[in-house]
Structure formats: structure tokens, C-alpha cells
A and B are shown apart, each in its own frame.
Chain A
Amino acid sequence: GENVEQHPSTLSVQEGDSAVIKCTYSDSASNYFPWYKQELGKGPQLIIDIRSNVGEKKDQRIAVTLNKTAKHFSLHITETQPEDSAVYFCAAQWAGSQGNLIFGKGTKLSVKP
């Protein structure tokens, strides 16, 4: 089955710097890759997603890139702010598995003011 690895497990940056979180997946049939932000005491919030027919997607300060050949995808946050501090999860889903997202173990991002 699918396996998703996420790095780093913790990341600390200064406010204004960029943050990059990387994930790799094992199943080449996976075709959907969302990213979630989970703040303390809350449920995961979908912040951006990408499908396998697209190489990059941006939404303001957030971007996701996908390399299908290498089977990895990354989240890029620019101009980080203290409110970006949270746990970020990547996930992968293959075409035949409706709703079954396989999650990475998460990255705890701390943005220092």
C-alpha cells in the first residue's frame, strides 16, 4: 500500500523567512496530494492541494510543487508569520481509494517573531 514520508518533523524559522516541507510517496498510482494545517486543539484545515497532472500550484504565500518522476512533493511558505505556526501534514491518495488519504507524520513549524 501507499506510504508517505514527511521531513522535517520540526522546523523553526524567523518571521519573514521561507519554510519548506518535503514529502515522498511510494505508490505511483497516487494522483492527489493535499496539505493540511492543524493548529493546537483544532481539526486539520485544508490549505492547498495538487493533482498529478499539475507540477506547481500557488495560493498567495503558499505553493506546492510535485515531481511525479521522483514521487515527491513539497510545501513552500514564503514570508512566514507567527500565525503560520502549526503542525502541517501532507497526504497522498490513489485513484481507486475514495477518501482514503495516507498522511505523513507531520511537521511542527514554529515561526519566531
Chain B
Amino acid sequence: SAVISQKPSRDICQRGTSLTIQCQVDSQVTMMFWYRQQPGQSLTLIATANQGSEATYESGFVIDKFPISRPNLTFSTLTVSNMSPEDSSIYLCSVSDSPSGNTIYFGEGSWLTVV
């Protein structure tokens, strides 16, 4: 499986600021996704990162709050904008090399605390 690296791994952020999370994969992958895991909770898909075009967002997530880029087949960024304490979560980059989007692997996550 692909090796997924995320930066930062952990951060404490001030309310009202924005933070960009980077995701680097060691091989070209078909699909890249961003998930959120709130404290003690399950995982929820934020969006699919599309190479060279706008991301596809799930219900409840909007581009102004979570802008995403994917300039190539191995790299993506997620920005969490104008953060509030409710944004304290683990943000997980995930990838699939399957045309159907199955067999999804996750990175180690970026653990954000907003104070």
C-alpha cells in the first residue's frame, strides 16, 4: 500500500486563524480524500480531492471553510479556515488506487486543537 505522510502531525491553533494540512503520497494514486474524526468519534468524509479541478464536497462541508487543492497525483492540501473550538479534530488524508474508490488507506492524521 502507498505510504501517506501528513504535516503537521499535531498543532494547537488560535481561534479565528487558518491552518493548511499537507498530504504527500509516495506513489501516484487515483483518488485522494479528506476525512474528519472528531474527538472520540467515528470518521466522516469531508471531500474528494480532484486533480486539477475543484474538490467534491460532502453534505455539510463547504469550500469556503475547507478549501482543498490537488495539483498532482501525489499531493493534496486541506485548509481549515477561520477555526473555532468545534474544529478540533483529527484530519485524515486517505487514498485509493482502485478505479471504484475501494481499498482506502489512511495517513496518520493531523491532530488539531483550537483554543
Is A98 interfacial (CB 8 A cutoff)?
A: yes
Interfacial chain B residues near A103, Cβ < 8 Å = 42-44
Summed over the interface, the residue pairs from A and B with CB atoms below 8 Å come to a total of 58
Q: Is the CB of A44 within 8 A of B45?
A: no
Q: CB-CB contacts of B38-68 with A at 8 A, as 1s and 0s? A: 0001111100100000000010000000000
Interfacial chain B residues near A44, Cβ < 8 Å = 43, 92, 106
Q: Is the CB of B42 within 8 A of A99?
A: no
Within the complex, the shortest CB–CB distance from B91 to chain A, in Å, comes to 10
Q: Is the CB of A99 within 8 A of B48?
A: yes
Is A61 interfacial (CB 8 A cutoff)?
A: no
For A32, A93, A101, the residue with the greatest tally of chain B CB atoms inside 10 Å of its CB is A101
Sorting the interface of chain B by its residue count into under 10, 10 to 19, 20 to 34 or 35 or more gives 20 to 34
Given contact pairs A89-B43, A99-B31, A99-B33, A42 touches B103 in the complex (Cβ within 8 A): no
CA of A59 to CA of B94, assembled, Å: 23
- Closest residue to A95 on the B side, CB-wise? B100
Q: Which of B17-50 contact A (CB under 8 A)?
A: 31, 33, 41-45, 48
Interfacial chain B residues near A32, Cβ < 8 Å = 100, 102
Interfacial chain B residues near A99, Cβ < 8 Å = 31, 33, 45, 48, 94, 96, 101, 104
Of the A-B pairs whose beta carbons lie under 8 Å apart in the complex, a sample of 28, sorted by A's number, is A32-B100, A32-B102, A34-B102, A34-B103, A36-B106, A43-B90, A44-B43, A44-B92, A44-B106, A45-B106, A46-B1, A46-B104, A46-B106, A51-B102, A89-B42, A95-B100, A98-B31, A98-B48, A98-B96, A99-B33, A99-B94, A99-B101, A100-B45, A100-B101, A101-B45, A101-B104, A103-B43, A104-B42
